[in-house]
């Protein structure tokens, strides 16, 4: 998480803070922007006009966020850097956090000192002289895969409460309904001992499959919490699909929908190895993905797509549809393809690919 330290006294400063936060979040990073994220309204509701308590709580939350952040980005403008921002830089420095400064201001404090107080310039590992320079640098850095996993979890944690709301996200709901109808047709009338849903999200498969034991695995704690509220009797694993954390040959039916586009090649083949490991001899693997050709046409061949939340927050969600183009061949290497169907959602150019797979 990145903590954005900036002066927040004027409309212009607050607007700039919002726009910078949005630009950084669009790269996939989680940002704590005190003006938005300290929860001032809720604090005021709690403590009313007791400004001492209100201010204590705001400071407590901001310092807590600095403790948690991986990096602090300070907007270090002005002939002297604003006092609150300077304090935040000092606190982060004492905690050994990475500090970077954005300074578009060309005023300096003279040849000897330079643009900002040396206590600040010596605490920061980098200075940027424009927003573009800062954003480009962060973009370059956010390509490492561990950060991508973090970003995906952060994204789903943030949107968990609205993800399946058909009024807010009708296309997601349409995909889910279509997939559910198809998979219900496959498992209808069958009873299993152990069913597992990988990338289970806030739930679909485990709610209708008939099974003595049900296990949901997901990267996002908030998604799991929502799933659990609908199905408290199931077991849940917070983890990644590259390590399924259940015993060999223990699962009769393993389901996974709309997960694969979030995985890179290595993760995908590790996932398939894990599926083969945990599925028993007669087990089935039910897999659904967005149809890649159509998705690529509508979303382009980028390695992320834009998701706008109900409150207008924008996320660039890591998602590689191009890599799904050769999925069928890849699946044939790891499994027996029992059936494959391209299923229309009923809306033009929106269909899904559904597979029933067995152990080789």
Closer residue to ligand SAM, CB minimum distance, 34 or 201: 201
Q: Among 28, 34, 199, 216, which residue interacts with ligand SAM (rule: CB under 6 A)? A: 199
Which residue of the chain is nearest ligand SAM when measured via CB?
201
Q: Does 82 bind ligand SAM (CB under 6 A)?
A: no
Q: Does 257 bind ligand SAM (CB under 6 A)?
A: yes
What per-residue string of b and e applies to 316-331 under the rule 16 or more CB within 10 Å gives b? bbbbbbebbeebeebb
Q: Does 321 bind ligand SAM (CB under 6 A)?
A: no
Closer residue to ligand SAM, CB minimum distance, 69 or 241: 241
Closer residue to ligand SAM, CB minimum distance, 108 or 171: 171
What per-residue string of b and e applies to 49-82 under the rule 16 or more CB within 10 Å gives b? eeeeebeebbeebbbebbeebebbbbbbbeeebb
Q: Does 209 bind ligand SAM (CB under 6 A)?
A: no
Shortest Cβ distance from residue 248 to ligand SAM (Å)? Answer: 20
CA atoms lying within 13 Å on the CB side of residue 157: 13
Binding range to ligand SAM, per CB under 6 A, among 24-32, 37-45, 107-115, 251-259: 251-259
Q: Does 258 bind ligand SAM (CB under 6 A)?
A: yes
Closer residue to ligand SAM, CB minimum distance, 256 or 334: 256
Closer residue to ligand SAM, CB minimum distance, 131 or 173: 173
Q: Among 219, 254, 260, 275, which residue interacts with ligand SAM (rule: CB under 6 A)? A: 219
Closer residue to ligand SAM, CB minimum distance, 101 or 263: 263
Of the candidates 147, 148, 17, which has an alpha carbon nearest to the alpha carbon of residue 74?
17
Phi/psi for 122 (5° steps) reads -80, -15
CA atoms lying within 13 Å on the CB side of residue 49: 0
Shortest Cβ distance from residue 190 to ligand SAM (Å)? Answer: 20
Say how many residues touch ligand SAM, by CB under 6 A: 18
Closer residue to ligand SAM, CB minimum distance, 6 or 204: 204
Strand partners of residue 48: none
Q: Among 204, 291, 334, 345, which residue interacts with ligand SAM (rule: CB under 6 A)? A: 204
Closer residue to ligand SAM, CB minimum distance, 103 or 176: 176
For residues 11-30, which are near ligand SAM according to CB under 6 A? Answer: none
Q: Does 156 bind ligand SAM (CB under 6 A)?
A: yes
Q: Among 74, 116, 183, 223, which residue interacts with ligand SAM (rule: CB under 6 A)? A: 223
Binding range to ligand SAM, per CB under 6 A, among 44-52, 68-76, 98-106, 214-222: 214-222
Binding range to ligand SAM, per CB under 6 A, among 63-71, 107-115, 259-267, 299-307: 259-267
For residues 123-152, which are near ligand SAM according to CB under 6 A? Answer: 152
Shortest Cβ distance from residue 104 to ligand SAM (Å)? Answer: 37
Residues that bind ligand SAM (CB under 6 A): 152, 156, 176, 199-201, 204, 218-220, 223, 240-241, 257-259, 262-263
């Amino acid at each position: 998480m990145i903590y954005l330290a900036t002066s927040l006294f004027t409309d212009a400063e607050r607007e700039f803070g919002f726009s910078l936060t949005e630009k950084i979040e669009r790269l996939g990073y989680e940002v704590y922007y005190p003006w938005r994220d300290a929860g001032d309204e809720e604090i005021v509701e709690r403590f009313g006009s007791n400004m001492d308590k209100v201010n204590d709580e705001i400071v407590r939350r901001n310092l807590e966020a600095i403790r948690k952040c991986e990096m602090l980005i300070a907007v270090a403008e002005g002939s002297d850097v604003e006092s609150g921002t300077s304090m935040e830089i000092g606190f982060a420095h004492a905690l050994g956090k990475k500090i970077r400064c954005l300074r578009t201001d060309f005023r300096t404090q003279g040849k000897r000192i330079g643009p900002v107080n040396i206590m600040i310039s010596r605490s920061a590992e980098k200075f940027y002289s424009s927003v573009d320079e800062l954003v480009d640098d962060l973009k370059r850095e956010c390509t490492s895969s561990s950060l991508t996993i973090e970003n995906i979890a952060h994204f789903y944690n943030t949107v968990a409460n609205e993800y399946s709301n058909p009024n807010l996200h009708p296309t997601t709901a349409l995909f889910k309904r279509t997939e559910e109808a198809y998979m219900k047709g496959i498992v209808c009338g069958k009873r299993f001992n152990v069913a597992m849903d990988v990338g289970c999200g806030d739930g679909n498969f485990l709610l209708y499959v008939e099974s003595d034991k049900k296990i949901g695995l997901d990267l996002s704690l908030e998604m799991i919490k929502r799933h659990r509220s609908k199905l408290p009797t199931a077991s849940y694993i917070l983890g990644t699909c590259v390590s399924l954390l259940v015993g060999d040959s223990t699962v009769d039916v393993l389901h996974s929908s709309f997960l694969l586009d979030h995985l890179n090649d290595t993760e995908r083949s590790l996932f398939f190895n894990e599926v083969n490991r945990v599925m028993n001899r007669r087990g089935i693997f039910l897999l659904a993905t967005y149809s890649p050709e159509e998705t690529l046409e509508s979303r382009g061949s980028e390695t992320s797509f834009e998701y706008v939340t109900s409150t207008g927050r924008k996320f660039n969600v890591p998602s590689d549809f191009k890599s799904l183009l050769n999925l069928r061949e890849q699946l044939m290497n790891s499994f027996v393809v029992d059936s494959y169907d391209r299923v229309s959602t009923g809306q033009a150019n929106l269909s899904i690919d559904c597979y029933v797979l067995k152990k080789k």
